[in-house]
Amino acid sequence: MSRYYCFFFLYTVRRNLQTGQEQGAAFAVYQGGRLVVDLWGGYADFGALRYRDADSISMAYSSTKMVTSLVLAHLVDAGRLEYEAPVGRYWPEFAVGEKKGITVQTLLSHRVSGWCHYYLIIDFI
């Protein structure tokens, strides 16, 4: 990630918190085990009743989608997974009924409901 992009990202988060475009946020970067960016501000709750501080807990929501995609990309790169392969090749219990022909790529596009990232990854670890 370029220094310019990092600066722009941090500037944008800070500006959005100051102008109220973002209700609350937290962002941290560790490099070599050392905390190099620790940005937080706004409110810690949806009702805007409690200000965020360094120890506020954040909701993650869809953050697992990114982590799942990165882990699966690593598995593809290592030759242990193919995007075009049916999910049933790796997770036989998934391939029942209408789900039989669903590929890993389709799963990653979030056009399939009723599954969990956790179960697909845990079999490879």
Phi, psi dihedral angles at 28 (to 5 degrees): -135, 145
Q: What is the pLDDT of residue 18?
A: 84
Report pTM.
0.47
Q: What is the pLDDT of residue 5?
A: 64
Interval 54-65 mean pLDDT: 75
> Is it the case that residue 51 has pLDDT exceeding 70?
yes
Tokens 């965020």 -> residue: 52
State pLDDT tens for residues 100-121. 888 999 888 877 665 444 444 4
> Is it the case that residue 89 has pLDDT exceeding 50?
yes
Question: Hey, is 4 helix, strand or coil?
Answer: helix
Question: If we measure between CA atoms, which residue out of 43, 14, 15, 46 comes closest to residue 27?
Answer: 14
Q: What is the pLDDT of residue 109?
A: 81
Q: What is the pLDDT of residue 71?
A: 87
Q: Where are the domains of the chain?
A: 1-58, 63-122
Q: Distance between CA 90 and CA 14 in Å, rounded?
A: 43
Higher pLDDT, residue 94 or 114: 94
